[in-house]
Amino acid sequence: MSLSNLVGNVAAFPVLAGWDFFNHAGVSPLPAAAGEALRLYAQQAQCGAYLETRWYSDLEDLRRTGALLLGADVAEIAFIKNTSEGLATVAAGLDWSPGDRVVTSGVEYPANIYPWMELSRRHGVELVMVPEHRHRQELRVPLEEILREAAHPRTRLVSLSHVEFGSGQRLDLATIGRQCRQQGKLLCVDAIQSLGALPVDVGQMNIDFLSADGHKWLLGPEGAGLFYCRRELLGHLRPLIVGWMNVVGAEDFGHYDYTLKPDARRYESGSHNVGGFLALKAALGVLLEAGIEQIAGRLRTLTDRLIAGLVAKGYGVVSPRGGDEWSGIVSFESPVHEANSLCRMLRKQHRVELAVRLGRLRCSPHFYNTEAQIDRLLELLPGH
């Protein structure tokens, strides 16, 4: 189904029937296709019919779809429980020396901070957090400061969100990745706030590692995500957990051969969340049918409309919008009204769902939301 036929389509997105939902940067409602995949899985599992299903073949189809989405090879894709697992795999799986540096921003989601703090505690690794700056109204982490810290001779790895969860700033990964590759540094990316909403190409961006759970812009359930490891680094990154599935003879249960699989499946230690991944596969089918480039264009249209209305009503928009810094996240402030109070009022009285992050209101529509929903939100927000 084309993107235009999915916009406002209650049959495809049942949440439209009861909510104006603008929190896809939090936990997304499932589209009908993903819900149906879960129901079918439950029905089959109840009847023991898994003996005759395509579950595991379908999961390999998902692996291929994930590779297509990222511009990667299928051998570079692993299934993970969540973004944290992928980032922790990178932190725990590389060899570190005291004095190595990891560069990140000072406004990362905690999943992209605590693994590096643990390295500091265990191995004496220095964690460098580039601060966010306010320029007029907008908040951003300056690219030039990231590049300067990345170029330090002791910097080993740069780990950044493609889109910052608080401000919505999209970082210029292509420029950062190019410098990192030229200087022999590694680039690790938390892509949970971009994958499914914006184009991501690990080759063009020179990304070495990428992690993203499926429950935000990918429209999948929690507990089913994707991890990318560049092929050349597979032999240098140890698995976070070693279990029965990491090895080449995983199904030869009576023969123990501790030889890790040659591809990214070496990072999968045990049985999968099959129902969750089947639902993610269905959700990705919806996104790819709509087209990621088309989804990004639709999000630009919706968020530009929202921002114009917010500014007209006296709200301060902190999300950068110039060049390619924009994203599907719009964070804004009221000079008068408290953010949590506004969020509660919208949810309880009008069934409009936003979020509050770092003291600011955060609106994150997806492509299927309508202009009428954006206009209704603007009408409900008190003026100044």
- Residue intervals in the chain for CATH 3.40.640.10: 40-288
pLDDT in tens, 347-365: 999 999 999 999 999 999 9
Quickly list DSSP for 227-293.
Answer: EEE-GGGGGGS--SS--TTSBTTTT-TT-----B-SSGGGG--S---HHHHHHHHHHHHHHHHH-HH
Topology at the third CATH level for domain 3-30+291-379: Aspartate Aminotransferase, domain 1 (3.90.1150)
Mean pLDDT of the 205-211 span: 98
Q: Which of 295, 275, 276 is nearest to 214 (CA)?
A: 276
Extract the tokens encoding 71: 């511009």
How high is the pLDDT of residue 53?
A: 77
Please give the Cα distance from 266 to 224 (Å, whole number). Answer: 17
Query: pTM (2 decimals)?
Result: 0.97
- Please give the average per-residue pLDDT across 56-69, as a whole number: 96
Q: What is residue 49's predicted lDDT score, i.e. its pLDDT?
A: 65
**Of 366, 299, 307, which Cα lies nearest the Cα of 138?**
307
151 CB-near residues (< 8 Å, 6+ apart) = 179, 183
Q: What average pLDDT does the segment 144-157 reach?
A: 98
**What's the whole-number average pLDDT of the chain?**
97
Which residue matches tokens 């929202």?
306
The reported pLDDT for the residue numbered 384 is: 82
pLDDT at 135: 86
- For the domain covering 40-288, report its CATH number: 3.40.640.10
Q: What is the mean pLDDT of residues 83-109?
A: 98
Nearest Cα neighbor of 174 from 362, 325, 14 is 325
Share of the chain above pLDDT 90, in %: 96
Give 240-279 pLDDT, tens digit per residue.
999 999 999 999 999 999 999 999 999 999 999 999 999 9
Span(s) in the chain for CATH 3.90.1150.10: 3-30+291-379
Residue predicted with more confidence, 348 or 1: 348
Residues in the chain, overall count: 384
Strand 138-140 with 155-161, pairing: unpaired
Q: Span 223-227, mean pLDDT?
A: 98
Taking 90 as the threshold, does the pLDDT of residue 47 lie above it? no
Q: What is the pLDDT of residue 51?
A: 67
342: buried, middle or exposed (CB in 10 Å: 19+, 13-18, 0-12)? middle
Q: Reduce the DSSP state of residue 88 to 3 states and report it.
A: helix
How does residue 63 score in pLDDT terms, banded at 50, 70 and 90?
very high
